Amino acid sequence: MKAIIATLSMILFAIPAFAVDTTQTYNSGILVLLFVGFCALLIVAQLVPAVLTLFGMTKAAVQGSRKTAAAKN
């Protein structure tokens, strides 16, 4: 019974902690958004060649395994 009462009291005292005033949370300007957008653009620009290289290496590995399988038969 003590555990139930302790759990309920923790829940009741923790509920106000989740109430956040969102007007005070984000007050950055347009320059911060532009900087974050530029960083995201850099990451995406680096991911495109990496994914293309990964597909190329996978394709080469599959073709190589097919050639060795054909040579064994």
**What is the chain's length?**
73
**What pLDDT band is residue 12 in, cutting at 50, 70 and 90?**
confident
Query: Each residue of 33-73: pLDDT tens digit?
Result: 999 999 999 999 999 999 999 999 999 999 988 877 777 76
CA distance 54 to 10: 50
How is residue 25 written in tokens? 């949370």
Buried b (16+ CB within 10 A) or exposed e, 27-56: eeeeeeeeeeeeeeeeeeeeeeeeeeeeee
pTM assigned to the model: 0.47
Higher-pLDDT residue of 22, 4: 4
How far, in Å, are 5, 36, 47, 71, 72 from residue 61 at the CA level? 62, 37, 21, 15, 17
Domain ranges of the chain: 2-72
